[in-house]
Amino acid sequence: CAPMFVPATSDLPSYTGGQLAQGGTVFFVDETGRHGLAAATLDQTASTKWFNVNFHITGATRVGIYGGIDNTSDIVRIEENGSYAAKIAQSHTGGGFGDWYLPSLEELRLMYNQKSVIGGFTNANYWSSTEISGSPASNPSTTAYAKDFTAGAEAPLSKGSTAKVRAIRKF
């Protein structure tokens, strides 16, 4: 007996890590092979702060895969216009796509693990969109996670410090 309909996902192409597609380099593919994450092929900035001007409570504390999407939206909603990590990532239009974002900590870990496949990284700190919650929670956070692409160390970094930005997008 043949199925009455075929799910739309069957029409989607399959992807593999390292493939140039979706506006960048694919570095994570889910179990379907049709969805995942692509990283921009180049850094969006050599050095920028995580925050805009002042410390705010942004709620950008998601760590997991695809968490950077909501983190970036929350950061930009609170920090508004300016030149800072999340806004720079969100403003990227590589490959004609307008849905780029600053990776969460876990997404940044995946990028680090695939850095030779993605290419173009320097031995420097890269921002994640994952901030450290303020303590108590009613206090603004002053730090966010960054990952050193030299040896893989990750640590909270002052939002006023500078690091690099590499935008990613979900497909």
HSE (side-chain half, CA atoms, 13 Å) at 91 = 14
pLDDT reading at 89 higher than 80: yes
pTM: 0.92
**Mean local confidence (pLDDT), 45-65:** 94
* Confidence at 19, pLDDT banded by 50, 70, 90: very high
Residues 83 and 138: their CA atoms lie apart, in Å, by 26
Using the predicted structure, report yes or no on whether residue 24 has a pLDDT greater than 90.
yes
Among residues 37, 36, 32, the alpha carbon closest in space to that of 8 is found at 32
**CB-count burial class (<10 Å; 0-12, 13-18, 19+) for 55:** middle
